Structure 1
Amino acid sequence: MAVKIRLKRMGKKFQPFYRVVVLDGRKKRDGRVIEEIGLYDPMQEPSLIRIDSERVKYWLGVGAQPSDTVFNLLKITGDYQAFKGLPGAEGRLKVRDPEAAASAKAEAVKAAASDAEKRKAAAAKAKAEKEAAEAAAQDAPAEESTEAPAEEA
Protein backbone atom coordinates (compact mmCIF):
# COMPACT_ATOMS: atom_id res chain seq x y z
CA MET A 1 0.00 0.00 0.00
CA ALA A 2 1.48 3.36 -1.09
CA VAL A 3 0.79 5.83 1.70
CA LYS A 4 0.66 9.51 0.77
CA ILE A 5 0.62 12.71 2.78
CA ARG A 6 -1.46 15.23 0.89
CA LEU A 7 -4.14 17.91 1.17
CA LYS A 8 -7.88 17.29 1.53
CA ARG A 9 -9.99 20.23 0.39
CA MET A 10 -12.64 21.55 2.75
CA GLY A 11 -14.69 24.76 2.96
CA LYS A 12 -17.10 26.58 0.66
CA LYS A 13 -16.77 27.74 -2.91
CA PHE A 14 -14.02 30.36 -3.19
CA GLN A 15 -13.23 29.90 0.52
CA PRO A 16 -11.09 26.78 0.62
CA PHE A 17 -9.07 25.46 3.48
CA TYR A 18 -7.24 22.18 3.56
CA ARG A 19 -6.49 19.39 5.98
CA VAL A 20 -3.11 17.70 5.77
CA VAL A 21 -3.99 14.01 5.74
CA VAL A 22 -2.38 10.60 5.46
CA LEU A 23 -4.18 8.22 3.09
CA ASP A 24 -3.74 5.38 0.67
CA GLY A 25 -2.40 6.75 -2.60
CA ARG A 26 -5.14 4.98 -4.56
CA LYS A 27 -7.94 6.84 -2.77
CA LYS A 28 -9.66 9.97 -4.05
CA ARG A 29 -8.47 13.41 -2.91
CA ASP A 30 -11.38 13.82 -0.50
CA GLY A 31 -11.79 10.12 0.22
CA ARG A 32 -11.42 8.18 3.47
CA VAL A 33 -8.23 9.07 5.31
CA ILE A 34 -5.99 7.14 7.68
CA GLU A 35 -5.14 10.16 9.84
CA GLU A 36 -5.45 13.94 9.82
CA ILE A 37 -2.16 15.53 10.85
CA GLY A 38 -2.59 19.23 10.14
CA LEU A 39 -4.37 22.25 8.67
CA TYR A 40 -3.58 24.73 5.92
CA ASP A 41 -5.71 27.84 5.35
CA PRO A 42 -4.40 29.98 2.48
CA MET A 43 -7.26 32.50 2.82
CA GLN A 44 -6.03 33.93 6.12
CA GLU A 45 -3.44 36.67 6.14
CA PRO A 46 -0.80 35.36 6.82
CA SER A 47 -1.65 31.81 5.78
CA LEU A 48 -2.34 29.37 8.61
CA ILE A 49 -0.11 26.31 8.53
CA ARG A 50 -0.42 23.97 11.50
CA ILE A 51 1.14 20.51 11.18
CA ASP A 52 1.86 17.92 13.89
CA SER A 53 5.57 17.36 13.30
CA GLU A 54 5.72 14.21 15.45
CA ARG A 55 3.07 12.50 13.31
CA VAL A 56 4.76 13.70 10.11
CA LYS A 57 8.04 12.29 11.35
CA TYR A 58 6.36 8.98 12.14
CA TRP A 59 4.62 8.66 8.77
CA LEU A 60 7.71 9.61 6.80
CA GLY A 61 9.68 7.13 8.89
CA VAL A 62 7.37 4.31 7.80
CA GLY A 63 7.59 5.30 4.13
CA ALA A 64 4.80 7.79 3.39
CA GLN A 65 5.46 10.13 0.46
CA PRO A 66 4.44 13.79 0.78
CA SER A 67 2.86 15.55 -2.19
CA ASP A 68 4.73 18.49 -3.67
CA THR A 69 2.48 21.00 -1.92
CA VAL A 70 2.77 19.26 1.46
CA PHE A 71 6.53 19.03 1.01
CA ASN A 72 6.67 22.80 0.45
CA LEU A 73 4.50 23.40 3.53
CA LEU A 74 6.83 21.21 5.58
CA LYS A 75 9.80 23.23 4.40
CA ILE A 76 8.02 26.48 5.34
CA THR A 77 7.22 25.24 8.85
CA GLY A 78 10.70 23.80 9.31
CA ASP A 79 9.40 20.28 9.87
CA TYR A 80 11.50 19.04 6.97
CA GLN A 81 14.60 19.40 9.12
CA ALA A 82 13.01 17.24 11.84
CA PHE A 83 12.91 14.14 9.67
CA LYS A 84 15.74 14.89 7.24
CA GLY A 85 18.11 12.77 9.33
CA LEU A 86 15.84 9.75 9.75
CA PRO A 87 17.49 6.54 8.61
CA GLY A 88 16.18 5.82 5.13
CA ALA A 89 14.07 8.98 4.96
CA GLU A 90 16.14 10.49 2.16
CA GLY A 91 15.63 7.38 0.07
CA ARG A 92 11.90 7.45 0.64
CA LEU A 93 11.53 11.14 -0.09
CA LYS A 94 11.49 12.18 -3.69
CA VAL A 95 14.34 14.53 -4.49
CA ARG A 96 12.75 17.96 -4.33
CA ASP A 97 15.48 19.86 -2.56
CA PRO A 98 15.92 23.00 -4.69
CA GLU A 99 19.58 23.41 -3.71
CA ALA A 100 20.40 19.84 -4.71
CA ALA A 101 18.43 20.20 -7.94
CA ALA A 102 20.21 23.48 -8.74
CA SER A 103 23.64 21.98 -8.08
CA ALA A 104 22.81 18.91 -10.18
CA LYS A 105 21.60 21.16 -12.99
CA ALA A 106 24.76 23.29 -12.73
CA GLU A 107 26.92 20.15 -12.92
CA ALA A 108 24.99 18.94 -15.97
CA VAL A 109 25.43 22.31 -17.69
CA LYS A 110 29.14 22.32 -16.82
CA ALA A 111 29.54 18.78 -18.18
CA ALA A 112 27.69 19.70 -21.37
CA ALA A 113 29.88 22.80 -21.78
CA SER A 114 33.07 20.78 -21.30
CA ASP A 115 31.80 18.19 -23.80
CA ALA A 116 31.09 20.98 -26.27
CA GLU A 117 34.57 22.42 -25.72
CA LYS A 118 36.11 18.99 -26.28
CA ARG A 119 34.14 18.56 -29.49
CA LYS A 120 35.17 22.04 -30.69
CA ALA A 121 38.82 21.30 -29.88
CA ALA A 122 38.65 17.95 -31.69
CA ALA A 123 36.98 19.61 -34.69
CA ALA A 124 39.61 22.39 -34.75
CA LYS A 125 42.41 19.81 -34.51
CA ALA A 126 40.88 17.75 -37.33
CA LYS A 127 40.46 20.88 -39.45
CA ALA A 128 44.07 21.92 -38.81
CA GLU A 129 45.32 18.43 -39.70
CA LYS A 130 43.22 18.44 -42.87
CA GLU A 131 44.55 21.87 -43.88
CA ALA A 132 48.10 20.76 -43.14
CA ALA A 133 47.60 17.62 -45.22
CA GLU A 134 46.13 19.66 -48.09
CA ALA A 135 48.97 22.17 -47.87
CA ALA A 136 51.51 19.33 -47.86
CA ALA A 137 49.77 17.72 -50.84
CA GLN A 138 49.83 21.01 -52.75
CA ASP A 139 53.46 21.74 -51.83
CA ALA A 140 54.73 18.23 -52.60
CA PRO A 141 53.86 18.15 -56.34
CA ALA A 142 55.20 21.69 -56.80
CA GLU A 143 58.48 20.77 -55.10
CA GLU A 144 58.76 17.58 -57.13
CA SER A 145 58.23 19.49 -60.38
CA THR A 146 60.93 22.04 -59.47
CA GLU A 147 63.31 19.37 -58.23
CA ALA A 148 62.78 17.01 -61.15
CA PRO A 149 64.21 19.35 -63.80
CA ALA A 150 67.13 20.17 -61.51
CA GLU A 151 68.00 16.51 -61.23
CA GLU A 152 67.75 15.96 -64.99
CA ALA A 153 70.06 18.81 -65.80
Structure 2
Amino acid sequence: MALKLRLARGGSKKRPYYSIVVADARMPRDGRFIEKIGAYNPLLAKDDENRIQLDTDRAKHWLERGAQPTERVARFLGTAGLMEWKHGNNPKKGEPGQKAKERVEERAEKERAAKEAAEAAANAPAEDEAAEETAE
Protein backbone atom coordinates (compact mmCIF):
# COMPACT_ATOMS: atom_id res chain seq x y z
CA MET A 1 0.00 0.00 0.00
CA ALA A 2 1.52 3.32 -1.12
CA LEU A 3 1.05 5.97 1.55
CA LYS A 4 0.91 9.70 0.93
CA LEU A 5 1.09 12.68 3.24
CA ARG A 6 -1.23 15.14 1.53
CA LEU A 7 -3.83 17.84 1.94
CA ALA A 8 -7.56 17.08 2.13
CA ARG A 9 -9.69 20.11 1.36
CA GLY A 10 -12.41 21.26 3.69
CA GLY A 11 -14.17 24.53 4.27
CA SER A 12 -16.79 26.20 2.14
CA LYS A 13 -16.65 27.72 -1.31
CA LYS A 14 -13.96 30.43 -1.55
CA ARG A 15 -12.93 29.71 2.06
CA PRO A 16 -10.49 26.78 1.88
CA TYR A 17 -9.25 24.89 4.90
CA TYR A 18 -7.01 21.86 4.56
CA SER A 19 -6.30 18.88 6.76
CA ILE A 20 -2.87 17.26 6.51
CA VAL A 21 -3.62 13.55 6.33
CA VAL A 22 -1.94 10.19 5.79
CA ALA A 23 -3.86 8.36 3.07
CA ASP A 24 -3.58 5.51 0.63
CA ALA A 25 -2.45 6.98 -2.70
CA ARG A 26 -5.37 5.28 -4.46
CA MET A 27 -8.00 7.11 -2.41
CA PRO A 28 -9.56 10.38 -3.62
CA ARG A 29 -8.23 13.72 -2.37
CA ASP A 30 -11.03 14.31 0.15
CA GLY A 31 -11.83 10.62 0.60
CA ARG A 32 -10.85 8.02 3.14
CA PHE A 33 -7.64 8.60 5.08
CA ILE A 34 -5.70 6.73 7.74
CA GLU A 35 -4.82 9.53 10.15
CA LYS A 36 -5.10 13.30 10.40
CA ILE A 37 -1.76 14.75 11.47
CA GLY A 38 -2.32 18.47 11.06
CA ALA A 39 -4.14 21.39 9.49
CA TYR A 40 -3.39 24.23 7.08
CA ASN A 41 -5.39 27.45 6.85
CA PRO A 42 -4.22 29.50 3.83
CA LEU A 43 -6.49 32.41 4.76
CA LEU A 44 -4.35 33.32 7.77
CA ALA A 45 -1.30 35.57 7.44
CA LYS A 46 1.96 33.88 6.53
CA ASP A 47 3.54 34.78 9.86
CA ASP A 48 0.55 33.53 11.90
CA GLU A 49 1.46 30.56 14.10
CA ASN A 50 -1.95 28.92 13.50
CA ARG A 51 -1.56 28.87 9.71
CA ILE A 52 0.13 25.44 9.79
CA GLN A 53 -0.50 23.04 12.66
CA LEU A 54 1.45 19.80 12.41
CA ASP A 55 1.95 16.87 14.76
CA THR A 56 5.67 16.41 14.07
CA ASP A 57 5.94 13.13 15.99
CA ARG A 58 3.25 11.46 13.90
CA ALA A 59 4.61 12.97 10.68
CA LYS A 60 8.06 11.58 11.50
CA HIS A 61 6.48 8.20 12.29
CA TRP A 62 4.76 8.02 8.89
CA LEU A 63 7.86 9.23 7.03
CA GLU A 64 9.81 6.38 8.63
CA ARG A 65 7.13 3.96 7.42
CA GLY A 66 7.68 5.13 3.82
CA ALA A 67 4.89 7.67 3.32
CA GLN A 68 5.68 10.09 0.50
CA PRO A 69 4.67 13.74 1.01
CA THR A 70 3.18 15.84 -1.76
CA GLU A 71 5.05 18.98 -2.82
CA ARG A 72 3.10 21.31 -0.52
CA VAL A 73 3.29 18.99 2.50
CA ALA A 74 7.01 18.47 1.85
CA ARG A 75 7.41 22.24 2.08
CA PHE A 76 5.61 22.23 5.45
CA LEU A 77 7.79 19.37 6.69
CA GLY A 78 10.88 21.24 5.53
CA THR A 79 9.96 24.30 7.60
CA ALA A 80 9.30 21.99 10.58
CA GLY A 81 12.78 20.48 10.14
CA LEU A 82 11.63 16.92 9.44
CA MET A 83 13.05 16.69 5.95
CA GLU A 84 15.04 18.71 3.47
CA TRP A 85 12.88 20.42 0.87
CA LYS A 86 14.34 22.00 -2.26
CA HIS A 87 12.44 24.05 -4.78
CA GLY A 88 11.69 21.97 -7.88
CA ASN A 89 13.27 22.81 -11.22
CA ASN A 90 10.88 22.74 -14.16
CA PRO A 91 12.57 24.41 -17.14
CA LYS A 92 9.62 23.61 -19.44
CA LYS A 93 7.06 25.35 -17.23
CA GLY A 94 7.11 28.63 -19.14
CA GLU A 95 7.40 27.02 -22.56
CA PRO A 96 4.28 27.35 -24.73
CA GLY A 97 2.36 24.27 -25.83
CA GLN A 98 2.41 22.68 -29.29
CA LYS A 99 -0.67 24.54 -30.58
CA ALA A 100 0.68 27.90 -29.41
CA LYS A 101 3.97 27.22 -31.22
CA GLU A 102 2.04 26.35 -34.39
CA ARG A 103 0.03 29.60 -34.16
CA VAL A 104 3.25 31.62 -33.78
CA GLU A 105 4.72 29.92 -36.86
CA GLU A 106 1.55 30.57 -38.89
CA ARG A 107 1.52 34.23 -37.84
CA ALA A 108 5.20 34.61 -38.78
CA GLU A 109 4.52 32.98 -42.17
CA LYS A 110 1.60 35.36 -42.84
CA GLU A 111 3.74 38.36 -41.89
CA ARG A 112 6.51 37.16 -44.22
CA ALA A 113 4.04 36.73 -47.08
CA ALA A 114 2.53 40.18 -46.48
CA LYS A 115 6.01 41.75 -46.37
CA GLU A 116 7.00 40.08 -49.65
CA ALA A 117 3.73 41.22 -51.27
CA ALA A 118 4.34 44.79 -50.07
CA GLU A 119 7.89 44.73 -51.47
CA ALA A 120 6.64 43.33 -54.78
CA ALA A 121 3.97 46.05 -54.96
CA ALA A 122 6.56 48.73 -54.20
CA ASN A 123 8.89 47.43 -56.93
CA ALA A 124 6.15 46.98 -59.54
CA PRO A 125 5.38 50.72 -60.13
CA ALA A 126 9.08 51.47 -60.42
CA GLU A 127 9.40 48.80 -63.10
CA ASP A 128 6.33 50.19 -64.94
CA GLU A 129 7.88 53.68 -64.97
CA ALA A 130 11.14 52.27 -66.25
CA ALA A 131 9.31 50.40 -69.01
CA GLU A 132 7.44 53.59 -70.07
CA GLU A 133 10.66 55.59 -70.21
CA THR A 134 12.32 53.05 -72.51
CA ALA A 135 9.23 52.93 -74.72
CA GLU A 136 9.35 56.67 -75.31
TM-score range relative to shorter protein: 0.5 to 0.7
In the alignment, does 2:44 pair up with 1:44? yes
| Segments ≥4 residues shifted beyond 3 Å | none
Partner of 1:71: 74
Letter in 2 for 1:97: K
Higher helix share: 1
Consecutive unaligned residues of structure 2, counting only runs of 5 or more, are 90-136
Shift of 1:64: 0.3
Partner of 1:97: 86
Letter in 1 for 2:30: D
Partner of 2:64: 61
- Distance in 2 (CA, whole Å) between partners of 1:59 and 1:72 is 16
Name the % identity.
43
TM-score by length of 2: 0.58
- Distance in 1 (CA, whole Å) between partners of 2:28 and 2:74 is 19
Q: How many residues align?
A: 86
8 A contact 1:49–1:77 mirrored in 2: no
Shift of 1:76: 2.3
8 A contact 2:6–2:69 mirrored in 1: yes
Kindly name which structure, 1 or 2, has the bigger radius of gyration based on alpha carbons. 1
- Distance in 1 (CA, whole Å) between partners of 2:44 and 2:81 is 20
- Distance in 1 (CA, whole Å) between partners of 2:27 and 2:18 is 17
8 A contact 2:56–2:80 mirrored in 1: no
Partner of 2:83: 80
Shift of 1:8: 0.2
Shift of 1:78: 2.7
Letter in 2 for 1:19: S
Letter in 2 for 1:68: E
8 A contact 2:9–2:30 mirrored in 1: yes
Consecutive unaligned residues of structure 1, counting only runs of 5 or more, are 82-95, 103-153
Mean alpha-carbon deviation: is it higher for 60-69 or for 44-53? Answer: 44-53
